[in-house]
Amino acid sequence: MRHYISEEKTLYYDYYHGLFSKRLAEWAISMMRVDKGAGSLERLIPISSDDVYDILKTNGVKLPEEYRYTAWYLFNMARADYKESLPTDAARSMYVKETLNDPDGESGDVLACFEAKMCNAGIPIFWERMI
C-alpha cells in the first residue's frame, strides 16, 4: 500500500522537526483517558505544561525548550497509560528524560508513535491545524 504524505504534514515536520507543537500536544492530551477499572474510562485531568516543566526541573530533568511540548505530552501519557509502573512524578520525570534522551532514538520517535496510534484508531490528524 502506498502512503500519501500531505503538504501540511511535510510543512509541520519541517517546522517542528518531528516534535510536538503546543496545539498538537493540547489536542493529544485532550483525548487521553484513564482506566478506572471494570472497563470504565474517564478523561484524564491534565497537568499543565508549566507545571510539568517545573516537576521535571524539580526532579533534575533539564531539556532544551524545543522539547517542552513533547515532554508535556509524554508526562501526561505516563499518567494516563502507565499509572502502575510510573506512579510518581519522579518516575514519570525519569521516563520523559530517558525517552527523549534515548541514545539510539530520534527526536521524532514520540511523534511517530503517536501518529501510529492515531492511524490505528482511525483518527485523522489535521496537520494544518497543529502548526
Q: What is the pLDDT along the chain (131 residues), one digit of tens a residue?
A: 445 568 888 899 899 999 999 999 999 999 999 998 888 999 999 999 999 999 999 999 999 999 999 999 999 999 999 999 999 999 999 999 999 999 998 888 999 999 999 999 999 999 999 98
Whether residue 10 lies inside any domain: the answer is no
> How many domains does the chain contain in total?
1
Residues of the domain holding 86: 22-130
| 17 domain residue, yes or no | no
In angstroms, rounded to a whole number, what is the distance separating the alpha carbons of residues 37 and 32? 16
Q: What is the pTM of this model?
A: 0.91
Q: Is 11 contained in some domain?
A: no
Query: Which alpha helices (H) appear in the chain, and where do they start and end?
Result: 7-16, 22-30, 49-58, 68-81, 89-100, 109-121, 127-130
Of 51, 101, 105, 60, the closest CA to residue 79 belongs to 51
> Who's near 87: CB < 8 A, 6+ residues apart?
none
Q: What are phi and psi of 41, to 5 degrees?
A: -110, 140
In a domain, 4, yes or no: no
**119 located within any domain:** yes
The reply to whether 72 falls in a domain is yes
